Structure 1
Amino acid sequence: MHHHAFSRRSAGIHSLPVELLTRIFVLGSQFEYLYEDSPFLLKPVQDYSPAEAPNLQVIVSHVCRHWRQVALRTPSLWTTLHFRKISHIQRATMYLSRCSLSGTSNTYLLDILIDTVAEEDYLPGINLYKNELRTIFQAIVPHVRRWRAFHLKICDDDCKAQARQYLSACGPAPSLETLQLYHFTDYRTAQRLYLATYRPPVIVFSNTLPRLKNVSLIGVNLPWDKSPFLQDLHHLELALHLDNIRTPYAYWDRMLRLSPELRTLCLHYSGPKEATAADPALIWPNLDDKIQLRSLQELSVTDLDPDYLCQVIQRLHIPNVNKLTLDLPDQNFTPFVELLTNSAATGSTDNTGRASNTQASSRFHPMEHSSPSTTPPDSPILSLRNLETLIVRALECSPSSLISLLRATQALRVLQVDFSRVGGGLCQIFNQDPGITPSAASLASTGFVHHPLLPLLKIMKVAGTPGKDILNTLHTRHRLSREPPAVSEKWIIGWDEKRRGTDAELDALVDKGYWSFTGQGRKVRVIIETYDDEEEVEEVPDNDAESGDDDELEDEP
């Protein structure tokens, strides 16, 4: 009896070997992995707040004395340093001491985020401004050789001056893989605008970043001709750049050509500097001199002029893109959409999207490259047959051009559209012939076969669409089709409880769901889920109460 009782006690979690307990802690701290969707924690949206770093290491260190000792002696648990509030500075100091144990200082790499505010939003003792930024840099710069990811957001020219000072003098960062620099300023005055856009950029990290793979520059430019580390990239994001601080095409060309493994490219009101015949250094190449990015899988374009976007995209060969995100409001982007759908058939097009020969317009001239393109001029820009995900946040174009785009993406699995910001409604797009919805009887009598658009679609996420249009589209796709969709669908609809009563059809669809019958009479359910498409960015919960003062509990039982 005594032997069995002892065995049961010894089988408890407290009997686990330290090595196994350590492994559990490490795996648990990685459960909420911040970089699962993107290497960049910040987004080019003013009110966006990045998610808090995982807090499990602090929680387990408060369970009991044994667990605390194990956690404190596991340096890899304390390598994430996020600075958003004044209390985070002291917390980071403790984290640094824990992940810099004797003999391990060069082993455990640091992931750093610094999120400061503008002077008018500064609350002393709470958030971070220039004095706190100086303190943070003084704490982390001695460890610059251990930086793995560095994300910096500044909203003020004084903070920018601090960042320029430290990043230009901190020396090499041989372990840095991800660099994100974000400068958002409410300029307000011409002087602020001048300081933010006309001050020459500085060389950072002594131009020594041998492991750099992911670069995001939001409102920040670099000395493009003196930044040799802009190559061999896997993820590139350029955002919020006025034309005068954008990279000249020659350096844009070099950066992309020397990054053959580039996987994602995001252009948000940015890209190469506009071409002009008056300055030979700004001349763009002919349309047939394409930059080959065969590894590119994701392309995102936001807030670019139609002509400019067509000119940039025409000079890319990106046949393996499987995810495309479009946020293009306020102007007519029909030429761009037609460019995507017609490029394979018509070859190169001019800046209006019309077919043309391979010569550029008169303001563009050939430019020499160290690695000339070998792509035939009539190659498609991207293969729409490979596209699996299409996100349309905003797009002004003709309904017919959007229908042509969807028809060309028959392998699409995921489609997200905000129809409040897209030309053409849901029914107009998916029923293809507005006003004509054949009945089941007419189908049987005429032999008409309705082929549903996007037969492989698995997830449809829509906003800005009344319930009647959603029901009509579901009815057309499923009940009136001789060839119903090949896979079961999930529809995620913009709706929440505060809208109940404003759209009876939408309320009923949310409450009852949707069922259809296949041609063989089998009942099939379309999964209906909802999301609040009107909610603003959620505020990040304050975890300071749990994590800020844990180091005062060294003797906690």
Structure 2
Amino acid sequence: MPTHPHIGLPFSSQEEIQSAQSNHIGRIPALDALSANIQPEVDDANNNATAISSLPEEILAIVFEIGHTDFPAERLKDLFEISVSHVSRRWREVALRTPRIWSKIRRVKHQNRLDSIAAYLQRSKVVALDLRIEIGHGVNGLHEDIIPFCRLLSPHCGRCRHLSVTSSAQRNLIKLLECISSVAAPFLQSIDISLSLEGRVFDITNPRQIFAGGAPSLNSIRLRGLALHCYLPPLDSVTNLHLDEVDYRMFTKVDELRKVLLAMTALTHLVVEGEVVDDWPSDIIIELPRLQSLLIRANNDQDIADQILGLLKAISAPALEVLSLQNICDIDFELAINPDALGQTKFPSLRSLTLRDVGLSRPHMSMIARAFPSITHLTHSLHDIEKIVNLLTLLQDVDVHSRSRVKYWPHLHTLALPCASDDETASIHEFVAWRHSTGHPIQRLLLPLHVLSDTSALHEWMDDLRVYVQVEVYTDDSSQYFPTWADNK
């Protein structure tokens, strides 16, 4: 029999080996498929062997609900509810029977496939929904079609608890808001609507309503780029209002602003960033009897921030305790002549004042001090050595007509300087010692961590300083006075 020249095997044996190899190779795809079919059962067996597999379904569902709350995800593929439903067959069955973990629904820009949203709406059954909706720019001059999403969402709008809408197209935003115009929303707690600058294409002249069927639990509204009067929900239960960067073409008349604010009988926290009306007459009065905190901020693109003086002169708030003025300069106070018109008589309960990024000269700082004389807590946040030193110098002015000697803020007992540096240590020490000598000591001094470190120039003063005052690390606690959308989610 002929043999192979290299290995010496008969040719027939060689052919048998090759044939056997071919048979085995041909069976590999079938074996792979069998392995793939068996693997889920193997995974289930492994998972069932763990301690958690013995948990009753009710306990496992509670674990899922807690995890869904504690582990939010920005990327869709990292969503908690998706992850747990892929662990095992049992976990998936429990997840699908746990409506609360499917209650956060997000629509991303240019999303045309709505299968996943429909699944979430179905799986969440009747529980309250947190809706996060993004509307993008048009493509090739055509706006994205939001109507199919509106139709899908419409039967479920009444379950909405938190509504967040970010839009780059005003027309589609209007279509979405019209979808919820007459809805009753008994669970609704917060509304956050943002319209980008490039998405604003025309004026909205006729005030309209959303959730006209009622929203008795609504407590928080944030509008960015959209005028207050454009789409109004029920207002009588709202406690927090945040107005931000209203487009000049949508400016609310001050009478309309007054009417809306007066309708908010429960309003306790108000934030205004940028201009909100086209003109501020000097005789307008807006009485907000329950307002406790007020934040007014100028935007960087404003030549003159008229809303600073406009709101301070217009608002009368006997319960106001916290005032924050941000990003303002001298020109914003040029027309302020009478300090009494700013707040001494209108804000009798005011005790806490925050000046953040406020670059005011001595005359305007002294005017603020005279306007709000009962301040006990002062926060001055500005990365400017000269301004900080000037503030400390101003606060050492002597009142020759008063027994207290302290001219400005004689009741001040807490001073926070979150932007202080080593360069102001001598001025800080001098101010604290002077206040102590007048009989009006500063009781708490809040400074940034780096200033209180062992390597800081203030460290050598620390023992002397602590004779007069309790020194603490500054932490920003503004969120307790000015709640945000993130706090409500």
TM-score for the superposition, normalised by structure 2: 0.66
Q: Is the 8 A contact 1:385 1:410 kept in 2?
A: yes
Hey, what does 2:97 align to over in structure 1? 73
Instruction: Calculate percent identity across the aligned residue pairs.
Output: 15
Q: Deviations over 1:250-271 (max 9, x none)?
A: 3322222221210222222233
Structure-2 residue corresponding to 1:489: 446
Structure 1 residue 151 and structure 2 residue 164: aligned? yes
Q: What RMSD in Å do the two structures reach over aligned CA positions? A: 4.8
Matched, 1:297 2:302: no
Residue in 2 aligned with 1:174? 184
| Larger Rg, first or second structure (1 or 2) | 2
Structure with higher RCO (Cα < 8 A, 6+ apart): 1
Equivalents in 1 of 2:307, 2:474: separation in Å?
A: 39
State whether residues 396 and 431 of structure 2, in contact with CA within 8 Å, keep that contact through their aligned partners in structure 1.
Answer: no
Q: Which residue of 1 aligns with 2:423?
A: 468
Q: Residue 269 of structure 1 contacts residue 302 of structure 1 at CA under 8 Å; is this kept in 2?
A: yes
Q: 2:379, 2:89 → 1: CA distance?
A: 51
Counterpart of 1:19? 58
Letter in 1 for 2:356: R
Q: C-alpha distance in 2, partners of 1:292/1:452?
A: 26
Which letter maps to 2:269? Answer: T
Aligned to 2:348: 383
Structure 2 unpaired stretches of 5+: 1-47, 398-404, 477-489
Residue equivalent to 1:249: 254
Within-5 A mapping of 1:58-457: 58-84=82-108, 91-100=116-125, 105=126, 108-119=127-138, 130-131=143-144, 133-155=146-168, 159-175=169-185, 176-186=188-198, 195-197=201-203, 199-201=204-206, 203-205=208-210, 207-211=212-216, 212-221=218-227, 229-274=234-279, 286=283, 290-303=285-298, 305=304, 309-329=308-328, 331-334=330-333, 342-343=339-340, 349=341, 380-383=345-348, 385-387=350-352, 390=354, 392-402=355-365, 405=368, 408=373, 410-412=375-377, 415=379, 417-420=381-384, 425-432=387-394, 456-457=413-414
Q: State the alpha-carbon separation in 1 of the partners of residues 337 and 89 from structure 2.
A: 66
Runs of 5+ in structure 1 lacking a partner? 1-8, 35-49, 123-128, 188-192, 276-283, 344-348, 354-377, 436-447, 496-504, 531-557
* SS of match in other structure, 2:360: coil
**Cα displacement (A) at 1:169:** 4.3
Q: How far apart, in 1, do the equivalents of 2:69 and 2:313 lie?
A: 41
Give the paired residue count. Answer: 410
When normalised by structure 1's length, the TM-score is 0.59
Q: Which amino acid in 2 is paired with 1:179?
A: I
- Aligned counterparts of 1:209 and 1:409: Cα–Cα separation in 2: 41
1-side partners of 2:235 and 2:316: how far apart? 20
Q: Quote the residue 1:502 is aligned against.
A: none
Paired amino acid for 1:180:
D
**Counterparts in 2 of 1:451 and 1:309: CA distance versus 1, 3 Å:** closer
Deviation at 1:320, TM superposition (A): 2.5
Q: Is the 8 A contact 1:479 1:516 kept in 2?
A: no
Evaluate the alpha carbon distance shift between residue 86 and residue 296 of structure 1 in structure 2; reply closer, same or farther with a 3 A threshold: same
Closer, same or farther: CA 516–207 of 1 in aligned 2, 3 Å: same
* CA distance in 2 between partners of 1:60 and 1:459 (Å): 46
CA distance in 1, matches of 2:77, 2:365: 40
CA–CA distance in 2 between the matches of 1:509 and 1:139?
61
Tell me: CA distance 1:401–1:31, structure 2 relative to 1, closer, same or farther (3 Å): farther
Counterpart of 1:163 in structure 2: which amino acid?
Answer: L
Q: Find the aligned partners of 1:74 and 1:319 in 2 and give their Cα distance.
A: 47
In structure 2, relative to structure 1, the CA distance for the partners of 1:381 and 1:419 (3 Å cut) is farther
Q: Is the partner of 2:259 in helix, strand or coil?
A: helix
Distance in 2 separating the partners of 1:433 and 1:206:
50
Q: Which amino acid counterpart does residue 427 of structure 1 have in structure 2?
A: V
3-state SS in 2 of match to 1:266: strand
Bigger helix share: 2
- Indicate if the aligned counterparts of 2:251 and 2:276 stay in contact, CA closer than 8 A: yes
Q: Aligned partners of 1:285, 1:334: CA distance in 2, in Å?
A: 14
Q: 1:490/1:418 Cα in 2 relative to 1: closer, same or farther (>3 Å)? A: closer
Which secondary structure does the structure 2 equivalent of 1:150 belong to?
strand
CA contact (8 A) 1:513 1:527 kept: no
- Separation in 1, partners of 2:326, 2:208: 32
